Amino acid sequence: MPTTLNLELATVAYKVVRDIMAVKKGESVLITVDSAGCWTVAEELAKIAESLGARVMVAYHSTPVGVGKVAEPYLPDSLKAAIPQTDVWLELNTQWLGYSAPYEEALVPPNRVRYLCLCGLDVERMVRFFGRLDLKAQDEFQNKVVEVTRRARQMRIVTPAGTDVSFENDPKRPVLSELWCHTPGAHFPLGQIAWAPIEESINGDIVFDGSFYAGGPADLPSLREPITFHVKKGVCVEINGGEEAKLARQWLDSLNDPGMYHEAHLCYGFNPGAKPSGICVEDERIWGVTEWGFGHQGIQFKADGVSAVSHLDGICLNSSVWQDGEQVLNEGQVVHPELVELARKLGK
């Protein structure tokens, strides 16, 4: 009998729809999946939502070339109309629709959709991400990371690949812990802490050595050579590296939008189940990575708000992080005294 993990998937879908999304009877649930995404996961999420009394629709469509606003011309009008009109939106697309016009519309009143990005997650990844995890222990750890990060003003990140970047945090901006999706707005899978440092304070080299996702031809999983962004006052002024760096530069230039070179957010990856897999949503959650976003800045960061035609994410493996001189991570391992014991409970 082939391994399908179908029982595990049922458990995970139940956990996501009932516990994480808190779907209630009578709510509208929209599940979107492009043709490169995983239909099996879409079907399972739909079944669980239906069984909880929700009114469910699965939207299956061809795969856009590019993400964000770049994906918009590929979308059926019926899909664009449906996205802001649902209570809950689960997105399984590989070429994600985040930061597109229907996405932005879905997040502002009066629509106020509860959105969860599950972009590119297939059955095995869903099981790794959600299945065997103690949500309470994960929540406790993430909340402590938020608390510790909120105290930080001056930060520095160094990686073995050559990242050395310093910046300052704005205490008035939120530090987002991604786990529960009970409130309207944009949510991402558990195991990520995200915020937007003060853009003009960011200076140094950011060396992406995990993977790099800018959509279309510049989705570059498992980089053969690192891509280096030289950053001055929050803006990437030069990109260096090998063939993949060249491809990234060509794609970004082709978008013809200077906003694509502006730093948009920073994240910690802390999902104990995530491993390098060539999917952005998983790679950016590998334990101990830092991830930088450039281009369009989500409204959830309550920052200065660079608007751009798309967005890219790049991953720095085995990060060492200091905040106000105190070390938080050492080459991907948690060393901050307030976090060590909570990480141990997660097997880390």
Binding site for Fe ion (CB under 5 A): 293, 313
Q: What is the three-class DSSP state of 79?
A: helix
Contacts of 140 (CB under 8 A, 6+ apart): 342, 345
CB atoms within 10 A of CB 331: 13
Are the C-beta atoms of 217 and 227 separated by less than 8 Å?
A: no
Cβ-closest position to Fe ion: 293
Judged by beta carbon, residue 27 or residue 197, the one nearer Fe ion is 197
Judged by beta carbon, residue 293 or residue 332, the one nearer Fe ion is 293
Q: State the number of CA atoms in the 13 A half-sphere of 292 facing the CB.
A: 31
Judged by beta carbon, residue 178 or residue 313, the one nearer Fe ion is 313
The torsion angle over the Cα atoms of residues 238, 153, 194 and 179, rounded to 10 degrees, is 170
In angstroms, give the least distance from the CB of 314 to Fe ion: 9
In angstroms, give the least distance from the CB of 253 to Fe ion: 20
In angstroms, give the least distance from the CB of 89 to Fe ion: 18
Single out the residue of 188, 231, 200, 171 nearest to residue 306, CA to CA. 200
In angstroms, give the least distance from the CB of 211 to Fe ion: 13
Judged by beta carbon, residue 54 or residue 223, the one nearer Fe ion is 223
In angstroms, give the least distance from the CB of 215 to Fe ion: 11
Are the C-beta atoms of 45 and 17 separated by less than 8 Å?
A: yes
Judged by beta carbon, residue 49 or residue 280, the one nearer Fe ion is 280
